[in-house]
Amino acid sequence: MIKNNKGSTIITTPVVIAIGMILISTLIVFTVKILMPYIWYEKLSSTCIKYIFVMEDYGYLTKTEKKNLIKDLEKQGFEEKNLKLEATSRLQKYGDPIYLNIKYEYDLDIPMIDLETINMEIKKSSVSKR
């Protein structure tokens, strides 16, 4: 004869569901933290493209536009201390090459991965249209 232990399922079902929810939540958080550097890289790349177009108009990266670039990046959440900018700093004639290079050190906060920072570098070049 088979006995039906209804009391044990009342106790184990919520425990199993709670453990499952904790595992799923942990996996979701871990996945998001792994994907964040890619999202930050795309933000950095799109801002770099925007400012290379500005540089095409001016023929170089002016001091004002450099400040605006840093402000734009800070508004997006980038820290100025982790940014390094290199750009054409003198007026270029029509058709002369111009470049913009942005480097950023992204701080990881994933406990089980040995990397502490990820170095991102975006290089864009074009020609002056001035």
Contact assessment for residue 34 and residue 115, using Cβ atoms and an 8 Å cutoff: no
Answer yes or no: is 7 within a domain: no
- Establish if 90 belongs to a structural domain: yes
d(CA 36, CA 87): 26
Note whether residue 118 is domain-resident. yes
Average of per-residue pLDDT values in the chain? 89
Number of helices followed by number of strands (H, E) in the chain: 2, 3
| Averaged pLDDT, 54-81 | 95
pLDDT at 19 over 90: yes
Structural domain span for residue 55? 38-127
Q: 122: which strand partners? A: 102
Better pLDDT: 112 or 32: 32
Side chain identity at residue 73, one-letter code: L
Residue 33 lies inside a defined structural domain of this protein? no
CA distances from 15 to 11, 12, 83, 123 (A): 7, 5, 47, 52
pLDDT band of residue 31 (cuts 50, 70, 90) is: confident
Q: Domain total for the chain?
A: 1
List C-alpha distances in Å: 105 to 36, 63, 77, 84, 99: 13, 23, 13, 9, 20
pLDDT of residue 4: 61
Mean pLDDT of 31-46: 92
In a domain, 13, yes or no: no
